[in-house]
Structure 1
Amino acid sequence: MPFTIAIIGRPNVGKSTLFNRLVGQKLALVDDMPGVTRDRREGEAKLYDLNFTIIDTAGLDEGPKGSLTARMQEQTETAIALADALFFVIDARIGLTPSDRAFADFARRADKPVLLLANKSEGKHGELGAMESYALGLGDPIQISAEHGEGMGELYDAVSKLVPPTEDEDEEREETDEERASRPIRVAIVGRPNAGKSTLINHLLGEERLLTSPEAGTTRDSIAVEIEWKGRGFRIFDTAGLRRRSRIEEKLEKLSVADALRAVRFAEVVVLMMDAQNRFEEQDLRIADLIEREGRALVIAVNKWDLMDSNPGQISALRRDADHWLPQVAGAPIVAVSGLMGEGIDRLMQAIVESYAVWNRRVPTAALNRWFEQAIANNPPPAVSGRRLKLNYITQTKARPPSFVLFCSRADAIPQSYLRYLTNSMRETFELPGTPVRITLREKANPFAHKRKRPN
């Protein structure tokens, strides 16, 4: 019988969204209204090279005996009995509630391994809620965003310690470890319609695997293909062209665009393809901004370069244009290619590998502190309303993308321009070109806040 994990937690914390991500399909209904899930739902989950059965459950909730809520609770208890381990999910944006604390005791009584998942951890409020979850006594929280696919690497590390190897894996343990170390890089190819995405992938495969046509909109579904380049595996998603929302009218195209956006969220590196003769148009900039907001490593591929005049200095001009139009991902690799002729393919693949490495980078704490002190000394934070802002220290909380927490006073008063200065300085010092850099502000706790002022 395969290893089974049940997803439990109070209503509306994102259990069904996590279930859909792990099974790779939208099998479970998802809505903002609590209580959408009623019956337990099973699916075959895949997390990189791990395979297991996942069970989506109704939210843990109490109700009168014989009521619908009580029967939903019984379904959840049955799922827990069937499971070998539990995912206990909380909503990091809301923080801990009395229900979370009560059901944490319920999870402990099940006497099974429990992984605490702080869902919706993106952003400042998510970070704070994740820190609160230590109070549940269920170990270190794994910060994830089931909707955006963040934290899946950390979840994989935790689950891999629970899922037992199969007999074949026991016999070939060394091979399995090597496969985990070099698992395929997930790459999504996105861009406006007719940018040449499918033509490029066909050249990578060496066959006409994907339909191509001069007519825009040939690709509808997001098609995944496996390739190998210089001994490294890649899982590449070809996606439908992304037009401006105002031009999307047919339902089929809306579904295709939604599928393309899901491919971006599930990818680790996203290649934005532009037409060399019409590059850096408004829609290109919108797509690049979407990739940055989703926290994915970005590589820019300027396709149909074979149609351009071979004038000296054009590559340098591309670099200047990219840094001018896309300052939020300054230094993103930009490669001139021809999907039809096969020009620049090796440079593109190398850029993907390097961007993936940067996306996974962790900065040594000592080096981070030295940079932080020097950055503040070179450009101190401004005074606001006559009061100097105090920046205490910074720490990296995770990679994929590199994310940092800056402890300070009056977090709401620090201007965005100063955060951009810190971000750009960090990119330059630690060589983080092109990848999103997240800096979350957190006010340092005041140790005297609990003491009341003495009466005069």
Structure 2
Amino acid sequence: MFTVAIIGRPNVGKSTLFNRLVGKRLALVDDTPGVTRDRRSGDGKIGDISFNVIDTAGLEVANVDSLEGRMRAQTEAAILEADICLFLIDARIGVTPTDEHFADLLRISGKPIIPVANKAEGKKGEAGYYEAYSLGFGEPVPISAEHGEGMADLYQAIRIISEGDDADSEGIAVEEAAAPELAEIFDPDAPAEEKPRGPLQLAVVGRPNVGKSTFINYLIGEDRLLTGPEAGITRDTISVDWMWQDNPIRLFDTAGMRRKAKVQEKLEKLSVSDSLRAIQFAQIVVVMLDATMPFEKQDLQIAALIAREGRGCVIALNKWDLIEDPDEALKELRLEATRLLPQMRGVPVVPISGLAGSGIDQLMKAVFEVYKTWNARISTARLNRWLDGILNHHPPPAVSGRRIKLRYMTQAKTRPPTFFVSCSRPDALPSAYERYLINALRDDFGLMGVPLRLMMRKGENPYASRAKRKS
């Protein structure tokens, strides 16, 4: 499969075209220039042609060490990786000096270039379309990425380069792209013994500037994600495929999540929404904390969100190389995790250094242990033997002078482990007793680091129908 990179200055519609080609909204789109910072890849399709497509940051003339300069380096890496480059200009504005500057950069790369005049709908785009001829890349392709116009012409241009000049260009219908949703990669209700149909989905989340992108760059062994001292560099959720000990993993780097009250700008709200979707579609979530400032209020809120979504969780204490007394600090922080996160009691707490690469194996072992627990299934016979022992040791309290009876227990699903209990009066059972049952389940079956669901359901009265017949 060949690779197509979408190149152009800021705000010409690269991410809109990327979303159009992959068939769903993966990249953030906003009128603010420079929304995209990292390069994002996806499975693109136009007509009967499938390819890998890369969305890139807007090209800008900037100092190498600046944020814009580092963004440009990511785009240059995408150009090297690509087999075809789509060079976008804004047809309503026409060719600018910046467009001409980066046209020279693309020309030097030696890659096949398709000039694309985006936003060409209506008369306002005609002048810019004709100006695009001056770039020297041949006939430009007029499109409207937002409205889906011109996709047939873009199809022909890509097909000619990918298949050669003799490719038959007649009789091809342009189909709507439809890449599979992330949520469909795994069946959430599949039994534990079923092998996954794709890589393990692992999201890395946390507050801004805790080192998420640096950590993922170390894992994959390249500067794939944009990093730097500035807080909030990552905006889009970027997925990267990786292998750990022959286990395929899809890593998701997410934007830093600040407290809701501090998130005011529309663009940051979009970034946080993207991070929330990553949590919803992930199977295991690594919550990355700054070891020098651990367990702040926002860290706890992120962990609580993960528990509500039913995802498995591992806590990574990043920047551990800055801690003076690591053994004592780790002991205290694990106690803090137990106290502050009762809904995920026993969640693994692993010290790492994303910069130095220490603690990676320990972290990944913890991830797969939690994944195994997240898929754990306990037989009904074992659960009911366990329930009998619990009731003998600590029966439910009497409420209004009447004893509450728990008759039967079964596991309804995994991911996360969810249990149903047949109860004579579910509404009257104190929440403290439900927490007691959940904690006992964790301790006795080793269900650590994952949220548990316990549903009380009123059992049927076997004599109810007989009483109705008598009356």
Partner of 2:56: none
Distance 1:389 1:374 in 2: 16
Match of 2:314 among 299, 303, 309: 299
Contact 1:291 1:298 in 2 (8 A): yes
Partner of 2:442: 427
What amino acid is aligned across from residue 153 of structure 1 in structure 2?
A: D
Distance 1:270 1:24 in 2: 26
The superposition leaves residues 13-46 of structure 1 with CA deviations (integer Å, 9 ceiling, x where unpaired) of xxxxxxxxxx98459xxxxxxxxxxxxxxxx99x
Shift of 1:379: 1.0
TM-score (structure 2 length as normaliser): 0.59
Distance 1:226 1:311 in 2: 32
What amino acid is aligned across from residue 408 of structure 1 in structure 2?
A: C
Contact 1:199 1:212 in 2 (8 A): yes
Match of 2:187 among 153, 156, 177: 153
Match of 2:461 among 446, 449, 456: 446
Shift of 1:416: 1.0
Distance 2:432 2:233 in 1: 43
1:369 aligns with 2:384: yes
Distance 1:398 1:264 in 2: 20
Partner of 1:205: 220
Q: Which protein has the larger Cα radius of gyration, Structure 1 or Structure 2?
A: 2
The superposition leaves residues 290-347 of structure 1 with CA deviations (integer Å, 9 ceiling, x where unpaired) of 0000000000001101111035322221210110110110000110011011010111
Distance 1:439 1:333 in 2: 22
What amino acid is aligned across from residue 399 of structure 2 in structure 1?
A: V
How do 1:31-46 residues align onto structure 2 when only pairs under 5 Å count? Answer: none
Distance 1:387 1:272 in 2: 45
Note closer, same or farther for the CA distance 1:316–1:384 as it changes in structure 2 (3 Å cut).
Answer: same
What amino acid is aligned across from residue 187 of structure 2 in structure 1?
A: G
Note closer, same or farther for the CA distance 1:216–1:438 as it changes in structure 2 (3 Å cut).
Answer: same
Distance 1:150 1:440 in 2: 26
Note closer, same or farther for the CA distance 1:327–1:422 as it changes in structure 2 (3 Å cut).
Answer: same
TM-score (structure 1 length as normaliser): 0.61
Contact 1:148 1:294 in 2 (8 A): no
Contact 2:291 2:320 in 1 (8 A): yes
Distance 1:348 1:314 in 2: 17
Match of 2:273 among 258, 264, 268: 258
Distance 1:24 1:384 in 2: 56
Match of 1:184 among 184, 188, 199: 199
Note closer, same or farther for the CA distance 1:353–1:312 as it changes in structure 2 (3 Å cut).
Answer: closer
SS in 1 for 2:275: helix
Distance 1:24 1:372 in 2: 49
1:217 aligns with 2:251: no
Note closer, same or farther for the CA distance 1:249–1:181 as it changes in structure 2 (3 Å cut).
Answer: closer
Shift of 1:181: 5.1
1:412 aligns with 2:427: yes
Identity of aligned residues (%): 52
- Report which structure shows greater RCO (CA 8 Å, sep ≥6): 2
Note closer, same or farther for the CA distance 1:150–1:278 as it changes in structure 2 (3 Å cut).
Answer: farther
1:396 aligns with 2:430: no
Shift of 1:156: 7.1
**C-alpha root-mean-square deviation of aligned residues, in Å?**
2.7
Contact 1:182 1:232 in 2 (8 A): no
Note the residue ranges of structure 1 that are not aligned, 5 or more in a row. Answer: 1-22, 28-43, 46-146, 158-177
Distance 1:24 1:287 in 2: 30
Distance 1:412 1:399 in 2: 25
What amino acid is aligned across from residue 372 of structure 2 in structure 1?
A: A
1:242 aligns with 2:257: yes
SS in 1 for 2:292: helix
Distance 1:351 1:399 in 2: 19
Runs of 4 or more consecutive aligned structure 1 residues displaced over 6 Å after TM superposition: none
Note closer, same or farther for the CA distance 1:150–1:331 as it changes in structure 2 (3 Å cut).
Answer: farther
Shift of 1:151: 11
Note closer, same or farther for the CA distance 1:195–1:233 as it changes in structure 2 (3 Å cut).
Answer: same
Distance 2:361 2:197 in 1: 19
Distance 2:353 2:253 in 1: 16
The superposition leaves residues 395-427 of structure 1 with CA deviations (integer Å, 9 ceiling, x where unpaired) of 001111111101011101111111111001000
Contact 1:190 1:241 in 2 (8 A): yes
Note the residue ranges of structure 2 that are not aligned, 5 or more in a row. Answer: 1-21, 27-42, 45-180
Shift of 1:285: 0.6
Match of 1:272 among 287, 293, 297: 287
Distance 2:342 2:255 in 1: 26
Shift of 1:215: 1.1
What amino acid is aligned across from residue 394 of structure 2 in structure 1?
A: N
Shift of 1:453: 8.7
Distance 1:347 1:151 in 2: 26
Contact 1:148 1:265 in 2 (8 A): no
What amino acid is aligned across from residue 353 of structure 1 in structure 2?
A: F
